[in-house]
């Protein structure tokens, strides 16, 4: 039985701290893998026609969460693929993938120009690139920035206004 005393409700501090940039720090991928994924996302799904691209939609941040919660084989496709892309970049250009110019990066993405088949590629880099292309596109197109910018399209998307949301 409650008394007439008022119970004190604890208030939560909703202010953003000075280290808000830490929110974008990867939780599953290493810093190098995450930077590679961000660069790759910017290339695969750039901003265009007034719609945000993968960078603006924070697709890499979402994929960091998603892949971190995925089955082991999917985690392995991403970690091996990101490491292979980084190694190929260092071998060919002497610097990491995230530091490459657009034209340099394009030369390493040649597996994406191969004809599509039902069977995934055997090469770990090619397998990763094919998976990442689909995942980055989906993460971008299902993000709040993309949907609110008008990218959802009421005719194409029955559940307009539904999008993934950042998790703490």
pTM for this prediction: 0.76
pLDDT in the model for residue 14: 38
Q: How far is it, in rounded angstroms, from Cα 125 to Cα 123?
A: 6
pLDDT in the model for residue 95: 97
pLDDT in the model for residue 9: 53
pLDDT in the model for residue 53: 95
Write out the chain's pLDDT in tens, 168 residues.
Answer: 455 555 555 444 434 344 434 456 789 999 999 999 999 999 999 999 899 999 999 999 999 999 999 999 999 999 999 999 999 999 999 999 999 999 999 999 998 888 878 888 888 899 999 999 999 999 999 988 888 887 665 444 444 454 555 555
3-state secondary structure the chain: CCCCCCCCCCCCCCCCCCCHHHHHCCCCCCHHHHHHHHHHHHHHCCCECCECCHHHHCHHHHHHHHHHCCCHHHHHHHHHHHHHHHHHHHHHHCCCHHHCCHHHHHHHCHHHHCCCCCCCCCCHHHHHHHHHHHHHHHHHHCEHHHHHHHHCCCCCCCCCCCCECCCC
pLDDT in the model for residue 164: 53
pLDDT in the model for residue 8: 56
Domain boundaries, the chain: 30-44+54-151
pLDDT in the model for residue 24: 60
């Amino acid at each position: 039985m409650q008394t007439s005393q008022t119970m004190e409700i604890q208030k939560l501090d909703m202010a953003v701290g000075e280290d808000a940039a830490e929110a974008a720090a990867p939780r599953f991928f290493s810093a190098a893998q995450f930077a590679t994924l961000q660069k790759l996302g910017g290339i695969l799904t750039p901003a265009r026609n007034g719609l945000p691209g993968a960078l603006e939609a924070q697709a890499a941040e979402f994929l960091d969460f998603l892949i971190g919660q995925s089955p082991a084989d999917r985690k392995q496709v991403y970690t091996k693929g990101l490491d292979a892309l980084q190694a190929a970049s260092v071998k060919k250009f002497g610097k990491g993938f995230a530091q490459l110019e657009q034209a340099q990066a394009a030369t390493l993405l040649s597996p994406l120009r191969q004809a599509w088949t039902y069977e995934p590629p055997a090469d770990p880099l090619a397998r990763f690139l094919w998976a990442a292309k689909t995942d980055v596109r989906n993460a971008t197109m299902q993000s709040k920035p993309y949907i609110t910018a008008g990218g959802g399209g009421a005719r194409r998307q029955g559940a307009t206004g539904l999008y993934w949301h950042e998790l703490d």
